[in-house]
């Protein structure tokens, strides 16, 4: 669960600051997690999952307004949580 929150935080940061283009979201996720000394292996997977759905893209932009990672994860839809969960080990 903690890893999901970290990936969610990095992903939401990436999406909330700019329109997500292929690779940019994953790059921002990787940079954030590397800076924290965390595993980055789920970043590309999560970007792929989010970029497949305009609904998820919009949701992650909305979730970006929630600063607390635990609160942000709790506020995510089942679809968003499933995307985050499927990309973590």
Q: Give the pLDDT confidence of 55-80 residue by residue, as tens digits.
A: 988 887 787 677 677 788 899 999 99
Range(s) of the domain holding residue 8: 2-86
d(CA 46, CA 8): 9
User: What total number of domains does the chain contain?
Assistant: 1
Residue 18 pLDDT exceeds 60: no
> Average pLDDT of 31-58?
83
| Nearest partner of 84 among 29, 20, 32, judged by Cα | 29
């Amino acid at each position: 669960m903690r890893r999901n929150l970290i990936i969610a935080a990095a992903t939401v940061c990436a999406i909330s600051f700019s329109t997500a283009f292929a690779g940019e979201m994953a790059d921002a996720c990787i940079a954030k997690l590397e800076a924290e000394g965390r595993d980055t292996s789920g970043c590309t997977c999560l970007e792929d999952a989010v970029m497949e759905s305009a609904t998820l893209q919009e949701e992650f932009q909305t979730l970006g307004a929630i600063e607390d990672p635990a609160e942000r994860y709790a506020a995510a839809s089942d679809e968003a949580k499933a995307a985050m969960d499927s990309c973590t080990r």
